[in-house]
Structure 1
Amino acid sequence: MKVEIRLFATLRDGRDKVLEMEVEENTTVSKVLDIFKIKQEDVALLLINGRDGKFDASLHEGDYLSLFPPVGGG
């Protein structure tokens, strides 16, 4: 099944901004992070289809996953 992964800020380093990928049915967000070698602690906010998501949530055909790192400033 196809899903879209949208990476923001530092999570884009060395990667594309938007990636379309084939994954197995019911692949979890955690599995996608493993594929991209992104640690859970490096993700401050994750959205599935624009709604709050969880690391153990399963993805479905046509879903889009948005990943945001913690933001600092001052």
Structure 2
Amino acid sequence: MDVNVKLFGDLREGRFEQEMTQLEENSRVIDVIKKHDLPLDKVALCLVNSHNVEFGHVLQNGDTVAFSPPVGGM
């Protein structure tokens, strides 16, 4: 199956901004993280189709997965 992966902030460094990725059926968000060697301690937010999800969320063909690092506040 194909999913669109978007990276934000520091997670883009040395990687990409947006990319289509092929995965096995029933893959989870954590599988995308592992496939792209994203550091778990730097992934603060995971969104699938604009909804906040956990690493164990099962993906569907055509999903958009976005990862963001922690951001500073006031």
TM-score w.r.t. length of structure 1: 0.92
Q: What is the Cα deviation at residue 73 of structure 1?
A: 5.6
Partners in 1 of 2:31 and 2:50 — Cα distance?
A: 19
Partners in 2 of 1:61 and 1:43 — Cα distance?
A: 22
Query: Which runs of 5 or more structure 1 residues have no equivalent in the other structure?
Result: none
Cα RMSD (Å): 1.2
Of residues 39-48 and 56-65 in structure 1, the stretch that sits farther from structure 2 once superposed is: 39-48
Give the SS at the match of 1:54: coil
Partners in 1 of 2:58 and 2:51 — Cα distance?
A: 14
Give the SS at the match of 1:21: strand
After superposing on structure 2, the runs of 4+ consecutive aligned residues of structure 1 that deviate more than 2 Å are none
Query: Which runs of 5 or more structure 2 residues have no equivalent in the other structure?
Result: none
Q: After superposition, what is the alpha-carbon deviation per residue over 1:14-36, rounded to whole angstroms, capped at 9, x for unaligned? A: 11100101111111111111111
Aligned length: 74
Aligned to 1:48: 48
Q: After superposition, what is the alpha-carbon deviation per residue over 1:5-64, rounded to whole angstroms, capped at 9, x for unaligned? A: 000010000111001011111111111111111122211111000011110011110000
